[in-house]
Structures are given as C-alpha cells and as structure tokens.
Amino acid sequence: MKEIAHTINKQLVGIYTESSLETDQKLPTILFFNSGLLPHIGPYRLYVKLARHFAKLGYPSFRFDLSGIGDSEKHKDSRLHKLQHQEDIKEVIDFLEKENSDTGFVSFGICTGADNAHKTMARDLRVVGAICVDGYTYPTKRYYFNHYLPKFFSLSSWMTMLKIAYRKVVPEKTDEKLDTIDMTWHKPPKENVEKEYREFISRDCSLLSIFTASWPCNYKNQLSDVFSTVPFGDNLQTAYLEDAEHIFPLAEDRNSLTDVMTSWLEERFTHSKLCQPKHS
C-alpha cells in the first residue's frame, strides 16, 4: 500500500492512499473531510484506518485538512471560512482529477464534515456519491414519540425537569462573564435540502446517510420519512448505529461504521456500473 503526502497550492496538506488492489475496474476516489477541528487522521485515527481498508478493496482516497485546520495554512483573505472551505475542496478535486483520478469522487464526513460532503455533491458534478455521518436530519412525529415516551415514565427525567424549572424561577447569581464561542451548526432549510436531493437523483448519484444515537435521529428511516415525497429509490441508503457515539471512541463502533460503508460501496460501485461523473 502506498501513501503519498501532497501540498496543494502551497497551502492544503493531505495524504493520498493508492489502491492496493490490482483490477481493471476504475473506482471513485474517496474524499475525507475534517470533522470540526479534528485533523485529517480523523477521530481516533478513524480516517487512517478507513483509507487503508478501502485501498485494499480498490478505492483510492485523499484525506486532507481544510484551510486553517490541522496542517493546512489559513487563507490570507477575508472570505467567510465556509466559502474558503468550499473553494479548498474544489482545488483538491481539480488537483486529484488532473493527477490521479478521472472516475469520480465520493465525499465523506462526520458532522461538519457531513455538511461539506453534502454541499460538495450538490455543487460539483464530478462527485458521484456521498457518505454523511450525523448529517442533515429533521424531526418527525415518530421521532418525538420515540424521544419523549421513555422520559414520561422516567423518574430521573421528571427530577431534571423540576431542577430546570427551579433554576428559571430562582436564577443563580454570578459576577463572572464567560466568553463563549458559538459552535452551533445551522442546518439549511428543509426545502433547500429536498431540492438538492432531487438533483442528486437526476444525476443518479448515491447517498449513504448514517446516524448515531448522539444525533437528533432515533430510528433508521427518519430521513426518508422526512422527505417522503422524494423518489429516492436505490439512490438513498440509511443506517442507524444506535449504540455508537458521535466520534466513534469505541473500536466496535468504528468496525460497525466500516462494515456499513463497505457494503454500500460494494453494492453501489464495485458490483454495479459506475455512475460516470460530469465536469463542472
């Protein structure tokens, strides 16, 4: 297995993992996006292990740091970091397409990485699929039922509610003013996401949406229920890892994630005709 370090435009640093499987079939390159401020090794070295695992199956990959994260330099202009990062991703795809790959890309990320994975598939026609872990989801009636019914019969939940109510009536006095940083991830309007999903389908692109118990999703088909009018067909596959935590600290949960991703890649790309990428 061969891993090559690249610096793109003297700024973006990443590791290209070549396919170690000898085959005539050309498979898409997997792009690993940062999860929050975590560097390109991923949480608990998850990205390293995934890249090497997929290389054995024939999939090259590139795990890299967006500007201002990990080993990559900050931009010297005043653009919003979200706009900077989308330009970073385009530069990476341009570089890889020229140097290594002409068979399309699959974007992958956790949390904010899932946000970028979705946006990249929406904006770049060379991306043929996305794997989003704890990405976009919206509550449904079943979600609320699953969420609140157990709490109704839980004494500890009632005690917590009473404590919260008491604190609102008798607020704690403090002279300290704490500096806080808003790390909230603002989901796009549901109608915008639905429009993008329909565009994915028209391009025959595929989405694997995986959720953990740490996210506001509590059953496997929540996403498809939210967008019940979208004719996903085989273009959407969902998975719910109800015992896994958000950044997969346990080896068994990382293994479960790997198994789900492997099955999806083999079904969508290894054993079926590759969705040919278009050029932006």
The domains of the chain, with CATH numbers, are: 3-169+188-270 (3.40.50.1820)
pLDDT in tens, 10-57: 899 999 999 988 777 789 999 999 998 999 999 999 999 999 999 999
CB 18, CB 54: distance < 8 Å: no
Residues above pLDDT 90, as percent of the chain: 68
Q: Which residue has the tokens 């003013």?
A: 177
The stretch 228-240 carries a mean pLDDT of: 96
DSSP of 142-176, one letter per residue? HHHHHHHHHHHT-HHHHHHHHHHHHHHHSPPP---
